[in-house]
Chain A
Amino acid sequence: MSDLQLKDLYDGFRDPDTIKAFKKIIDEDAKKLEHPINIMEVCGGHTHTIMKYGIPQLLPDNINFVHGPGCPVCIMPKERIDHAYVLSMQEDVILVTLGDMIKVPGSNGSLQDARSKGADVRFVYSPLDCLKIANENKDKKIVFFAIGFETTTPMTAALMDTVIKQDIKNIYFHINHVTVPEVMRELIDSRDEHVDSYNHQIDAFLGPSHVSVISGSKIYEEFPRDYKKPVVVAGFEPVDVMQSISMIVKQFIENRCELEIEYKRLVSYDGNKKAQDLINIYFEKISLFKWRGLGNIKDSGLKLRDEYAKYDAEVIYKDILPIAQIEDHKLCICGDILRGMASPPECTIFGTACKPSTPIGSCMVSSEGACAAYYKYGNLL
């Protein structure tokens, strides 16, 4: 960290004058819009920024946000959490995962609950921290419950790479990595079975930028080309978001429909080839992955390739992992929220039965979830 000044991470991208200047440009340009536009921020990190910095308060009435499915915690189905819970309760297992994941309730409780019952559950900042845990606990099996989109997958692949190269005997993987383009396509293509006409309400996308640092902006090409939805890959600071909205509005008033990158300081068209190669060595697509609230989505998840089955906790612990399908809570409308069809306050249990301290739906669990962001920041205006 010594060369990077921590200040560089945010300085300048929260400048009030720049934000106000973008507000002015957007206000002027929005007057020329022929119809209101709904912009979906796919990524939970963007939802968080938008609510934390009060961005909707800066925008004219004809520009709206709809919140997308891009929070790795929000989309984790109960079935998978139950797997983690069962694994954590094994006497010789240390279950390791990332941050917020330990709060998500499964059908028996969350990993936090498992921990309070004596399970050894740990969270790490980086998957590579598993190496130290494995070294210090040679008599235990370390199961890494891997989660996240394209952003976190390379780190799991890097851990896998080290485990193989160093011949580490006590690290196993439970893979829950998912991919963004498939779910974006699902949101546009799918029809809701509960209503006659499914209206996804998406006119344009703010592209998840951390995902694109790895995969490149190229993964979103199909959306302007095939679906006529502009995509601007946006950074996470308020200036980034305001600039990206301005870029989207300009596309509409200039009758363009393109893939653009606002977050040029980190995102390229091709992305990080080395990371992509590492992912391809160890992972392959699985035909269906169930998303909480959205159901099974084709080709949207990853698994370890068969040749690495001896590291795969789902194979090793096959006999004890529950297989029952679990319905989402009847009153919870997280599915509709993740699809961009409803906003959190429209849910009847929002802020009452469902709160960050007692989450019922997954969008209330993660700090990056839409409901949690609304609960925390969004109920003022």
Chain B
Amino acid sequence: MKTITLAHGNGGQENNELISKVFYKAFKNDILEKSEDAAVIHNGELAFSTDSFTVSPLFFAGADIGKLAVCGTCNDLAMMGAQPKYLTCSVIIEEGFDTKSLEKIVRSMKKELEVNGAIVVSGDTKVVPKGSVDKIFINTTGVGEIQKKGISSNSITSEDMILVSRDIGAHGATIFAAREGIDMNTSLQSDCASLYPQVKALIDADIKITALRDATRGGVSAVLNEWAKQSDICVEVDEDKIPVSDEVNGICELLGFEAMALANEGTFVLAIAKEDAQKALDILKQTNETASIIGSVTDQYVGRVVLNSAWGTKRFLELPTGELLPRIC
């Protein structure tokens, strides 16, 4: 790793390597090492998280960078069973950026804050010369009140089932379809959404939640691989139970991607105690009918994720590597 390449930001293997070899090495502490979606602080009462947002195009079907910037951090808090409360908002803007677009982005942030019941309490603005950033970068940092303690990616066992909250890959596929170069008419929309309402519904129903994680960069594939390693388990998923929309499947076919590795911005993976899995599924289905129980936890290949096909074959589902690039032919 002599220089940083785009692959180091892929949410997969190279990204993990960068984080562990540079940042974890320097910042080493017990909280950070738990490697959860948000840090649990203040005697387990608060969750604390930060995220920066860069996306091209800034406005896309289903959302924009503003909505994304609020959902992203709030969802990280929600994944620790916390209600998002206070956010900071820091923006880096390229000179020449259109004020109307900025206002649109901020309106979008305001709307999404309301969904979460959170407020922005501090912020920062920087304007940099043209070419220094790609239009606008947004950082949000958030604090949330933990409503249910003990949710952790480190404590999944064979007593859990694995679920996803809806069909996967919609955000990643939407962004690819929207980028210049692919003139594609699709009704695809990013899944970008705040997840706290669904998490609250699960908590209110007293569901035994072991772990939650929103499947952002690196997709469901990265979440399952991280869980398998963090909890020393084998996750086995059934390919035909994984919900993927026809359009996402089609784009994957055209460009040679796997839906499991595509980014999501409003889809989460759940490890739920077996006895509550069906009940949790029923609750998730109230928001999205495509929610599904996709797999179980075994000790067959500890630290790995196994994908079972509908015709009896199996393979490992690996952590995504490299920059997502379309295949050649």
Contacts and interface: CB of A to CB of B under 8 A. Distances in A.
A269 B306 CA distance: 41
A9 B253 contact: yes
Given A45-B329, A152-B328, A367-B327, A357 B321 contact: yes
Contact of A16 (B5, B17, B310): B310
Interface SS of chain B: helix, strand, loop or mixed? loop
A152 B315 contact: no
B328 A73 contact: yes
A6 B318 contact: no
B186 A6 contact: yes
Given A112-B7, A112-B323, A125 B182 contact: yes
Given A6-B250, A9-B253, A100-B327, A52 B315 contact: yes
A6 B13 contact: no
Contacts of B306: 380
B250 A9 contact: yes
Nearest to A14: B310
A6 B254 contact: yes
B329 A148 contact: yes
Interface residues of A, number: 59
Interface string B300-329: 010000100111111110100111011111
Interface string A102-118: 11000000001101110
Nearest to B252: A10
Given A103-B322, A112-B6, A357-B13, A368 B327 contact: yes
Contact of B312 (A52, A58, A366): A58
Contacts of B255: 125
A255 interface: no
A9 B254 contact: yes
Given A1-B184, A112-B5, A125-B181, A19 B326 contact: no
B240 to A, nearest CB: 8
Nearest to B188: A6
Most buried by A among B5, B182, B255: B5
Nearest to A4: B250
B94 interface: no
Interface of A: 1-2, 5-7, 9-11, 16, 19-20, 23, 45, 51-55, 57-58, 72-73, 98-103, 112-113, 115-117, 123-126, 129, 132, 147-149, 151-152, 210, 238, 355-357, 366-368, 375-381
10 contacts: A5-B250, A6-B249, A10-B253, A54-B309, A55-B313, A58-B311, A115-B6, A125-B182, A125-B326, A148-B329
Interface of B: 3-7, 13-14, 17, 180-186, 240, 246-247, 249-251, 253-256, 301, 306, 309-316, 318, 321-323, 325-329
